[in-house]
Amino acid sequence: MRRIGYQRVTARDVDVLLSGYHRPERIRATERAALLRDVGATILREFEGRVENLLMGPGTRLLGPKGFVERLDHFQAFREDPLRKKSNVLIHELVRDGIAEFEDSAQIAPAVDYHIMRLYLRSGRVLPLHQETLDLLKKDSEPRPRLVRLLRETVSEALSLTALYAAMSIPKVNSLEWQIGRDICDRGRPKCSGNNASIAERLGLTSDDCPYASFCRAFADKEWRLLREPDLKKSFY
């Protein structure tokens, strides 16, 4: 495959790179190509053309003036999301792979995407307070951005508590639950019972049932399996 400079990447390049992706409607090649071009231009303009400069000096801190999160806000792809999902995903990867350490690593926040939201709704760890909201989340919907943000914030808090009580790091819990949400708690066809042998082997599970079967509301009640994450037409979601 030919190498593509970020500043020259086109929508066609993105289509080729992501060909075969099972949710083609989420590729949005033109939008992603523009974000990649912005990455290249920003690295040249703000970081002397060197990615590693992101982690130099104050970049060894996550928060605060010129901390890593603030540096990432130079990039359009990272700063658009008020909850900084993409920033947190990158931080999780850097920490898990031992690429970077941060002085204030205890402040690492969850990365909440649609797989995580769906898993927390169906498992019952996050509950809508009003019947209207519950009914809305049982069908394809595009609610007001404020509702989506409040839901994401609540899921983020619930994930932090899950990590606390499990005595696990937020990056580790986030990664594990993202895989469960993506591979088992599918939006259209959740694999609550059986047929998860390959997934179970990859995640080190002892059963091919969903590992949350013992407490998950959706496992016990098919009505709860109708719950799904809301749709939001934003590049960060």
Compute the distance between CA of residue 172 and CA of residue 180 in angstroms, rounded to an integer: 13
pLDDT at 3 > cutoff 60:
no
- The whole-number average pLDDT for the span 163-179 is 95
pLDDT at 196 > cutoff 70:
no
Predicted pLDDT at 209 = 81
Cα atoms in the 13 Å half-sphere on the side-chain side of 78:
16
pTM of the predicted structure, to 2 decimals = 0.86
Predicted pLDDT at 195 = 65
Domains of the chain, residue spans: 1-46, 55-108, 114-226
Per-residue pLDDT tens digits for 43-52: 999 999 999 8
Cα atoms in the 13 Å half-sphere on the side-chain side of 21:
13
- The whole-number average pLDDT for the span 65-93 is 94
Nearest to 39 by CA among 4, 14, 63, 75: 75
User: In the chain, what percentage of residues exceed pLDDT 70?
Assistant: 94
CA distance readout (Å), 73 to 80, 110, 153, 171: 8, 17, 20, 21
Compute the distance between CA of residue 32 and CA of residue 5 in angstroms, rounded to an integer: 14
Mean pLDDT, rounded, of the chain: 89
pLDDT at 201 > cutoff 80:
no
Compute the distance between CA of residue 46 and CA of residue 140 in angstroms, rounded to an integer: 41
Greater confidence (180 vs 57) lies with 180
Look at residue 110 and give its three-state secondary structure.
coil
Q: From the centroid of its chain, how far is CA 70? A: 19
- The whole-number average pLDDT for the span 131-150 is 90
pLDDT at 203 > cutoff 70:
yes
- The whole-number average pLDDT for the span 172-185 is 93
